[in-house]
Structure 1
Amino acid sequence: MTVAQFRSPSMASPPAYPDLLALARNPSADARERLLLGVVALCDARPPTGELSPVLGEIFLTLARRAERDVRKILSERLADADWAPPALINVLALDEIEIARPILAASPILQDDDLLRILVEATLEHQIEIARRPYLGGRVADAIIERGDPATLTALAFNRTAEISLEGIRRLVEQSRRVAALRGPLTRHPRLTTQLAEQMYEWVGVALRQSICARFQVDDRKLAPLVEQAVHDARSQCAPATPANDPDRDEMERRLVAKLQAAGQLRAGYLIRSVRERRLGLFVHALSTLGGFTVAEVREAMSARSPEALYYACASVGVDRAVYPALLVEIRLLNDGLPGDAGERVWLRGALSPTSAARSFRALIKGEAAAV
């Protein structure tokens, strides 16, 4: 018998409670089918308000304990939103296999914090993740999830915008994001993230999330500069060297790859960020050269300059947002022996610049550097 057949109405009105109890105690297949149809009819009709009849509670619980998987799944779906369902039955279904338990864990108003805390201890990781996703999850349960420290459950909780997570809980999630990269994205968008915690995250998130932090919290790059520079110093001593720049074969391979991307219309400013994050500085050089119409020599000169100004203008001319540039610069320096240097002003703080003006400024600076030499 299929689930679709289970759901087909065959009774004009719900059967009487004693009849259902007798069916629940009858092990025959025909009795189980009739019992299921009767229980579904009762779910559709909804029992009267007030205390649930003990007989009805026994019927539901007996069915859940003895029924086949498809029967329990239908019960879970039908009772997920019911505020009159027997608590014992709801707790049995919540500890069933995850496909049966999921609707109950997600929505049942019968489950209280103590029930959810018990399930966190007794059930599988999949059950724990569903609890972490539960709308308007209570603070006690959120704290218990954070205390357990499982990455998958923490990530589900970080995505849950309605969970009652305390400021201390958010602080602990931010600290966990040092080791659990999946936490970083949802935390940067979490409504309870504070400016102070966002500035802490700025040190270890990637370029795109730094842009998100800057946009949301209006972070002052000059304020974060000492933290970022310290991160550069700390990482430089641990960072493995990037691909050598004097490898002609690799350089030619990277040039061809960029040319293919350009020909296919797939070369975008975002590829610059991606290439740096993948520690492929040669790809960054060729991509920036191609996107901006600069020579490779000009781009390399900007990357070895005493000031990051020329490189900023080159990046701005191809669409790299000025809010992203400081973080991108940090990662480039890690791969490029600390270059470009830190001389001069942080011109990206002056305001927006059109691509045409940025390209003109880049060429003027590079030409001036060449004349000075």
Structure 2
Amino acid sequence: MIVRQFLQWVRNARPGDRADATSALARAYLHSDLSPDDLAAAEGALIMLLDDPSPLVRRALAEVFASSQKAPQVVVNALANDQADVAVPVLSRSPLLLDSDLVDLVATGEAETQAAIASRPLLPRPVAAAIAEVGSAQACLVLLENADADVTPASIDRIVDRFGHLAAIRETLLSRPDISAPTRQALLTKLTETLTGYVAARRWLTPDHAQFAAKDSYERATLSLAAEARYEEIAALVQHLRDSGHLTPGLILRALLCGNIVLFEEAMAELAGIPIDRVSSYIHDRNISGFRALYRKSGLPDIAYPAFREALAALRGDVLIGEPGGVARLKRRMVEHVLARCEQELTGEIEPLLTLLRRFAVEAAREEARMFCDDLVAAPLPMPVNDDHGRLVA
């Protein structure tokens, strides 16, 4: 009887009043002690209200049923496929939606509905993977910020591939403690590409100059990342660099001239296809013939071999002892030693290598000067004292 009166009244009521009455009926369905007949009638009325032309009415249904296990399944499914402002409460909270329902809704939904799904508590792995694959940037950002979501490294890498050029995505990813070194490297690549395009588009630098500057910055940042990575991550980082085309002779030489032997050994092992233990023995053996064979097998260019040879000789000669800075910074004494020895080579083909080494020498000298000045400024000033005549002296 009550439902019949409701249906007669609702036909001519205003949208706001209909929404209030719909909310009351939905709560009564969930929480009141209705007879089986009244419960069936109420469910029929609620299903009918799915066709109400006012989104206020359908939104009222969604708000009441969003978190309930007892809501009518057909009503929840219909609301989940409604327009975004109606569907969002159900998409973000309803326990009645299956993983398959959510995956389908991600594939067909708009950015707002995808983001609502991404915010769900305890979001399961298949749904997270669907968002990473086809979701909007907004949805992927919400997913990354959802601490309860089960997001695999593969899904994170897919988000980096699709949206790593966006600052909000990069910053959120870099703040996560579970991001691997290869993924951080991929983010670095995206950042470099974005900055290069930005600078070139505004004609602050010529495209070639912008690419050159970006490559230089990229290599320095890569060495900084490698210096902070855990030992067990270095091999994966090197493999990622090779797969992405960034494991260049210049980067490997830079690593050696920075004193990052771990990265250098892993790079040679990756390129030569030789176990790391054997690579390490070749590198640390004072007999250069083993390293020469390793170098040839790695496929690195012959023109660069003198620099690698002299750098290893400098390492064995303890040239790094007393050098300030960690393994992310070019060591000035080593670079200048290698440059001086390579300048004695008689072949004219070595000039490109000398150009690279001279650029490294300038970078190392400037970095050393910055460190010196920073230390000088940070050092406490000496306290003035009085001489025998009572005058202040430094």
* TM-score (normalised: structure 2): 0.47
Higher relative contact order structure (alpha carbons within 8 Å, sequence separation ≥ 6): 1
* TM-score (normalised: structure 1): 0.49
More helix by share: 2
Structure whose CA Rg is larger:
2
